[in-house]
Chain A
Amino acid sequence: MRILLIIPAYNEEKNILSVYRSIVKYNEEHQTNYDVIVINDCSKDSTSEILNMNNIPHIDLIHNLGIGGAVQTGYKYALAHGYDIAVQYDGDGQHDINYVKNIILPICDGKADFVIGSRFIDDKTSSFKSSIFRRAGITLISVLIKLVTGKTVKDTTSGFRAVNKTIIQLFSESYPVEYPEPITTTELLRKNFILEEVPVAMHERTGGKSSITPFKSFYYMINVILNILVVRFRRYPHAR
C-alpha cells in the first residue's frame, strides 16, 4: 500500500519544518514509508524557501487557491502517482503523526472507503477540543448530516482524514473550494461510501495564527448548512 500525506500550507514558516521532521522521524522509527507532499498555497512568508532548503517534497501553487484548491492539488498528485491511500494532514502542527496508522487501518482492511480522525469519540484521547461555540457548530452540522444521510458523523470539521483510491479519483475531479470537509463527507455518504471515525488527539497550534474570525464563523455555518441542503437534493446516478 502506497500512502501519501497531503499537507496544505499557507504561511506556515513556523510549523512546516517541524511537522515534516516529525513524519520523517516516525518513518525511521516505525519502518513505515509515508510519502509527503506539501502544497504551498502561494504563501507570503518564507514557507517556500524552507521547503526548498530542506528538500521537502512540495508543489508551489503559482497563485493562492484557498484550502479546497490546495488540497485538491494534492489529490491530483496522488492520482498521478498511483497512491492507494491519501491522508490529509495539517501543516500547522495540530495533527499527530502517531494516529496516521489508526486512520489508514480501516481502509487497509477494506472495512471503510474513508476515515475521519475524530476528536469526539472518546474523552480520553484528545485534550484539545476547541471552544464551546465551535463545538456547538460542529454538533449542528452533525445533526444536519444525520438528517440528510441518515448516518452519524461526530467530528464533521476534522481536517485529519484518509481516503481510498476511488475517492482520490473523485476528489481530483471535483472538490469544493471553501470548507470542503463537511460537504465532501455528506457527498460521500450520499454516494454510499463507507465511513469510519477513529479517535485521534489533536494539539493546539504550535505557532502561526489561526485564520478564524467571528464573521468567518458565521459565514462558515451559513455556507456549510446551505451546501449540505444542496447535496441533499442533488442526484447521484452513479452512486456506489
Chain B
Amino acid sequence: MPDNLRLAVFLISILLFVVIFVILIKGRMPLKFALVWLIPAFLILLVSVLPNWLMHMTEFLGFQTLSNMIIGMLFVFVIFVCISLTIIISGQKIKITLLIQELSILKNKIEDLEKKERGE
C-alpha cells in the first residue's frame, strides 16, 4: 500500500470519527446508532495503520484484487445498515400508529365529556 494512500485513508477515518463525535456531542444521534458508524471508522483506521491483514484476507477469501474485496465488503456493510434502518423505521411506524390511535380515542372521550357538560 503506497504511503500517500495510507495517509489519505488515515485522514478519512479521523474525519469520520470527528463527524460522529460532533453529532454525538450535539445529541443528534444516540450512541446505539452511532456505533454502526464508529465500528467501520475504526476498521478504516486499522487499515491505514496495519494494511497487511487486508492482503491476507483478500487471498483467503479468494478475491482477485484488494480493491475488489474492499468494495465487496462495503456493499455487504451497506446492506446491513439498510436492514437495520428498516427495522428502526418499522418500530417507529408501530409507535406512531399507537400514538394516533390513543390520541384519537382520548379526543373522542374529551369531546363526549364536553358534550355531557353542555347538557347535550
Residue numbers of A with Cβ under 8 A of B are 58-63, 65, 69, 72-73, 76-77, 80, 177
Question: Does B100 sit within 8 A of A, measured CB to CB?
Answer: yes
Contact in complex: A59, B97 (CB < 8 Å): no
Question: Does B92 sit within 8 A of A, measured CB to CB?
Answer: no
B100 partner residues in chain A, CB cutoff 8 A: 61-63, 65, 69
Q: Which of A58, A60, A69, A77 contacts B97 (CB 8 A)?
A: A69
Residue numbers of B with Cβ under 8 A of A are 93, 97, 100-105, 107-108
Q: Which of B93, B105, B107 contacts A80 (CB 8 A)?
A: B105
Contact in complex: A72, B101 (CB < 8 Å): yes
Contact in complex: A58, B108 (CB < 8 Å): yes
Q: Bound complex: CA of A62 vs CA of B104, how far in Å?
A: 6
Q: Bound complex: CA of A72 vs CA of B101, how far in Å?
A: 8
Shortest distance between the CB of A66 and any CB in chain B (Å): 9
Give the secondary structure class of B's interface: helix
B104 partner residues in chain A, CB cutoff 8 A: 59-62, 73
Contact in complex: B107, A60 (CB < 8 Å): yes
Residue on A with the closest CB to B100?
Answer: A63
B108 partner residues in chain A, CB cutoff 8 A: 58-60
Contact in complex: A73, B105 (CB < 8 Å): yes
Shortest distance between the CB of B91 and any CB in chain A (Å): 13
Shortest distance between the CB of A116 and any CB in chain B (Å): 24
| 17 further A-B pairs in the complex, CB-CB below 8 A; given A59-B107, A73-B105, A77-B105 | A59-B108, A60-B104, A60-B108, A61-B100, A61-B101, A62-B103, A62-B104, A62-B107, A63-B100, A65-B100, A65-B101, A72-B97, A73-B101, A73-B104, A80-B105, A177-B93, A177-B97
Contact in complex: A65, B97 (CB < 8 Å): yes
Shortest distance between the CB of A8 and any CB in chain B (Å): 12
Q: Bound complex: CA of A80 vs CA of B105, how far in Å?
A: 10
Shortest distance between the CB of B103 and any CB in chain A (Å): 6
